A and B are shown apart, each in its own frame.
Chain A
Amino acid sequence: MKSLEELRKLRAELEKEISTRNSEGKPKIIIGMGTCGIAAGARDILQAVTKEVRKRNLDVNISQTGCIGMCEQEPLLDVQLPGQDRITYGKVTAGDVERIVVEHLINGNAVKDLAIARLEEGGI
Chain B
Amino acid sequence: MNPKFYRSHVLVCTGTGCVSSGASNVRDNLEAKLEEFGLQDEIKIVETGCHGFCEQGPIVIVYPEGVFYCQVQTDDITDIVEDHLLKGRVVDRLLYTEQGTEIRIPAYSDIDFYKKQHRIVLGNCGRINPESIKEYIAVNGYEACGKALTEMTPEEVIAEIKGSGLRGRGGAGFPTGLKWELTRQSPGEKKYVICNADEGDPGAFMDRSLLEGDPHRIIEGMIIAAYAIGADEGYIYVRAEYPLAIRRLEIALQQAREYGLLGEDIFGSGFNFDLKIKKGAGAFVCGEETALMASIEGQRGMPRPKPPFPSVSGLWGKPTNINNVETYGNVPDIMRGGAEAYRAIGTEHSTGTKVFALTGKINNTGLVEVPMGMSLKEIIYDIGGGVSDGRELKAVQIGGPSGGCIPADLLDLPIDYESLREVGAMMGSGGMVVMDDTTCMVDVARFFLKFTQSESCGKCTPCREGTKRMLEILDRLCSGEGREGDLELLEELGEHIISTSLCQLGGSAPNPVLSTLKYFRAEYEAHIKDKRCPANVCAGMAAPYVIDEALCIGCTACVRVCPTGAISGERKKPHIIHPQVCISCGICASKCPVHAIAQG
Name A's B-contacting residues (CB within 8 A): 1-4, 7-8, 10-11, 14-18, 20-23, 31, 33-34, 38, 43, 46-47, 49-50, 53-58, 61-66
Judge whether B267 and A11 touch: CB under 8 Å.
no
Given A14-B137, A33-B86, A33-B87, is A54 in contact with B9 using a C-beta cutoff of 8 Å? no
Residue B6, interface by CB 8 Å: yes
Please encode chain B, from 1 to 23, with 1 for each CB lying within 8 Å of some chain A CB and 0 for all others.
Answer: 11111111101000000000000
Residue B392, interface by CB 8 Å: no
Judge whether A61 and B64 touch: CB under 8 Å.
yes
The residue that A10 contacts in the complex, of B63, B88, B137, with Cβ under 8 A, is B137
Q: Which of B281-307 contact A (CB under 8 A)?
A: none
Judge whether B138 and A11 touch: CB under 8 Å.
yes
Q: How many A-B residue pairs have CB under 8 A?
A: 114
Count residues of B near A (Cβ-Cβ below 8 Å): 42
Q: What's the minimum C-beta distance from A108 to chain B, rounded to whole angstroms? A: 20
Report Cα–Cα, A64/B62, bound state, in Å: 13
Chain B residues contacting A16 (CB-CB under 8 Å) are: 2, 4-5
Chain A residues contacting B89 (CB-CB under 8 Å) are: 33, 64, 66
A sample of 21 cross-chain residue pairs with beta-carbon separation below 8 angstroms, ordered by A number, consists of: A1-B267, A2-B268, A4-B150, A7-B143, A7-B146, A7-B267, A10-B137, A11-B138, A11-B140, A18-B139, A20-B7, A21-B64, A22-B64, A23-B64, A23-B65, A34-B87, A38-B87, A50-B5, A50-B6, A61-B64, A62-B7
Residue B465, interface by CB 8 Å: no
Residue B42, interface by CB 8 Å: yes
Report Cα–Cα, A52/B5, bound state, in Å: 10
Judge whether B142 and A7 touch: CB under 8 Å.
yes
Given A57-B1, A62-B64, A66-B89, is A1 in contact with B142 using a C-beta cutoff of 8 Å? yes
Report Cα–Cα, A54/B146, bound state, in Å: 31
Judge whether B267 and A14 touch: CB under 8 Å.
no
Residue B200, interface by CB 8 Å: no
Q: Which of B1-59 contact A (CB under 8 A)?
A: 1-9, 11, 41-42, 44
Judge whether B138 and A1 touch: CB under 8 Å.
no
Chain B residues contacting A53 (CB-CB under 8 Å) are: 2, 5, 7
Residue B217, interface by CB 8 Å: no
Chain A residues contacting B63 (CB-CB under 8 Å) are: 20-21, 23
Q: Which of B159-167, B228-236, B258-266 is the interface stretch?
A: B258-266
The residue that B261 contacts in the complex, of A1, A18, A63, A66, with Cβ under 8 A, is A1
Given A7-B137, A63-B64, is A18 in contact with B147 using a C-beta cutoff of 8 Å? no
A35 to chain B: closest residue by CB: B87
Name B's A-contacting residues (CB within 8 A): 1-9, 11, 41-42, 44, 63-66, 86-89, 127-128, 134-135, 137-140, 142-143, 146-147, 150-151, 259-261, 265-268
Top 9 closest A-B pairs, CB basis?
A: A64-B88, A14-B138, A57-B2, A4-B146, A62-B7, A1-B260, A33-B87, A54-B5, A17-B4
Chain B residues contacting A46 (CB-CB under 8 Å) are: 7, 42
Chain A residues contacting B66 (CB-CB under 8 Å) are: 21, 23
Judge whether B150 and A64 touch: CB under 8 Å.
no
Judge whether B2 and A63 touch: CB under 8 Å.
no
The residue that B88 contacts in the complex, of A47, A57, A63, with Cβ under 8 A, is A63
- Besides A16-B2, A57-B5, 8 other A-B contacts (C-beta < 8 A): A1-B261, A7-B142, A17-B4, A20-B9, A21-B63, A54-B5, A64-B88, A64-B89
Report Cα–Cα, A62/B6, bound state, in Å: 9
Judge whether A3 and B150 touch: CB under 8 Å.
yes
Judge whether B267 and A3 touch: CB under 8 Å.
yes
Report Cα–Cα, A21/B108, bound state, in Å: 12
Chain A residues contacting B42 (CB-CB under 8 Å) are: 46-47, 50
Chain B residues contacting A31 (CB-CB under 8 Å) are: 88
Judge whether B64 and A20 touch: CB under 8 Å.
yes
Q: What's the minimum C-beta distance from B286 to chain A, rounded to whole angstroms? A: 33
Judge whether A54 and B128 touch: CB under 8 Å.
no
Report Cα–Cα, A43/B66, bound state, in Å: 22
Judge whether A20 and B267 touch: CB under 8 Å.
no
